[in-house]
Chain A
């Protein structure tokens, strides 16, 4: 426990003023923060004006999980491999409403967290897969600004020439 107390903590401050204390190792998952820490131009408190508290807390949850999952678990409680466990955890993690998913993706992009970026982009891609244009529009609440003829022509061109 004493060793835990000595772990360096970094404070991340969300756009709406909430402060989150995280282990330095976890903060380093955010590549933008990592560069600041390594270049020693980070105070112990880092403001993140582009990320609100709701999203930041989820980002930290993700990074926490992934940093600690890298360590082997001694008890072997799970029947699955650690990698499968993590995959399942990730799958549950992205079961959020659409707005949160997109916010997470933007945050991962801004904070440069590759694994989270890949996960969120893949989740969004999975929402597009196998759907017709109209189904995609309904999923993301997108207005159709094509005429029926234009839409037909685009589909035909892509299917006939480029599939």
Chain B
């Protein structure tokens, strides 16, 4: 402070005085912690390696922790190293497991060891999130018993628990603000009172994944008592008139999701829905399970869209992936949504629909176009093609994130998109088959090269369609900022994979399916694999022997291979169906099921 011997610069010198020896030492702890709290996890990890006192400061002051792979570290180690954590996120299965049967159902990722460690070692815990893990009722009961002040519980894409566990949480955690069960598989215990006695502090409630009809009286009481409720995501089976009734009790709502609604008996349904939505002046995010008209018990919901249209102007986020009925109602609705920043639709929107999106949604930042067939649509194919993407890229200057599953594409159009959207951070592109440019017949080398060259901030890329080794070379050389890379049905040989592993400086996660890559590139770049969080490969040409060699050469990598549960071991010469390679500090895990083999000599 005052006592620091900071030398005054000599009058003739223009350089500042040399820094005093470790000025950080003079800072009081709270000031140092304050500074550290402004650093990202990556910067903190560098800071912790500077010297002992910085190491201790980081350890003491880390309030928020994300464990990207639950098997990368022992939960006990995490808890001992960072005793003051308030918010923890633990992730299990890789993202890849979402849309393929990449991992067997009994693969693992158990939350229990983490809950046990947290319960003993994180007394200040207020927020806990699990993603793609097995969470049991026992876990939830332990959390409820130990953390009555829990503010947020997020259990996303998890399984293994029931409403018994939920009851423990809602009864004990009376200050709970957020309960988010997105896409989890949850069993119903009809005797559970989880819904009856909810804490009134609730601001976010997402139970869209529940597959049974809830007691509406209880739900209504919950909504009316939680005056701070901002986000409400309902499940299927709620009649539309009941949705309207809930909205009347919660006009302050900011985000609404509803499942497929069933036919009600209200003769004035349209007017009631319209009036209910008119009251929701704060609504900015909307997602819906708009029923498929072919399924009798679900309303052809698109005919009710006009009743919602009063909220269009205020919407910033709209998810219509589930709108699996065709009709112009959708487009009329979107044409009123001038302020959309995020739009998720399926390919039934068609090229014409996308051109309306382009001309209406000038503030669009994120566009997803998924396949209606993945959402239960069984009618004649509509699909989108290249013009839709080009139109949006040309008229939406703020576009940053694109997921586009379409029927065909050309290099020229990819190059146009690259030029129009240099700010892309995420570009996930898919074709139904490994097709080339449909006009020239050439592979997409030039198109993807343009994307990686132009979009200097690109962090996520999914490549589809034909790409040659040369195409991979430009990706490897130019895609400096890519952290997540997915390859499907593409590539010519191991050389392509070699380019990726030798380049792509920032790569953290690599997912490969149905590509002609063997293990040679993996073995040649074994050390590189330690710089990734994980590598997933499915239906490629890697042999068991190559996996064993990899596991043997790199003892800190766990190489997991899918095997037939009846076999003792995968034969060395056979091609592995799938492999999952990840770095770990904790050594090979001890809870592998029969359908997984950890490969080593």
Contact = CB atoms under 8 A, between A and B. Distances in A.
A162 B78 contact: yes
Chain A's interface: helix, strand, loop or mixed, by majority? Answer: helix
Interface string B1-18: 110101001000000111
A106 B27 contact: yes
Contacts of A136: 46-47, 50
Contacts of B21: 141-143
Contacts, number: 147
Interface stretch (A22-30, A33-41, A58-66, A123-131): A123-131
A109 interface: yes
A146 B39 CA distance: 22
A74 B216 CA distance: 58
A128 B47 contact: yes
A18 B23 CA distance: 25
Interface in A141-163: 141-146, 151, 154-163
Chain B's interface size range is 35 or more
Contacts of A122: 38
B66 to A, nearest CB: 7
A18 to B, nearest CB: 13
A47 to B, nearest CB: 14
Given A136-B50, A141-B20, A128 B73 contact: no
B213 interface: no
A141 B54 CA distance: 13
Residue among B21, B50, B72, B77 facing the most chain A CB atoms (10 A cut-off) = B50
A142 B22 contact: yes
Interface in B54-75: 54-55, 65-68, 72-73
A87 interface: no
Chain A's interface size range is 35 or more
A140 B66 contact: no
Contacts of B567: none
A46 interface: no
A139 interface: yes
Contacts of B31: 105-106, 109, 117, 121
A75 interface: no
B19 to A, nearest CB: 4
A125 B31 CA distance: 11
B49 interface: yes
A162 to B, nearest CB: 6
Interface string A72-100: 00000000000000000000000001111
A105 B45 contact: no
A100 B49 contact: no
Contacts of A139: 19
B591 interface: no
B58 to A, nearest CB: 8
Contact of A162 (B35, B39, B41, B52): B41
Contacts of B55: 146, 154
A125 B45 contact: no
Nearest to A101: B23
B19 A133 contact: no
A99 B23 contact: yes
A146 B49 contact: yes
A136 B77 CA distance: 26
Contact of A157 (B18, B27, B38, B585): B585
B362 interface: no
Nearest to B20: A99
B19 A157 contact: no
Given A117-B34, A142-B22, A106 B1 contact: yes
B375 interface: no
Interface of B: 1-2, 4, 6, 9, 16-24, 26-28, 30-31, 34-36, 38-52, 54-55, 65-68, 72-73, 77-78, 81-82, 583-585
Interface of A: 15, 50-52, 97-100, 102-103, 105-106, 109, 117, 121-122, 124-125, 128-133, 136-137, 139-146, 151, 154-163
Which 6 interchain pairs have the tightest Cβ spacing? A158-B45, A99-B6, A161-B73, A97-B16, A125-B38, A133-B49
29 contacts: A50-B2, A52-B2, A98-B20, A99-B4, A99-B23, A102-B27, A109-B30, A121-B34, A125-B43, A128-B39, A133-B50, A137-B50, A137-B51, A141-B19, A142-B22, A143-B21, A144-B51, A145-B51, A146-B49, A154-B49, A154-B55, A155-B46, A157-B585, A158-B44, A159-B42, A160-B73, A160-B585, A163-B41, A163-B68
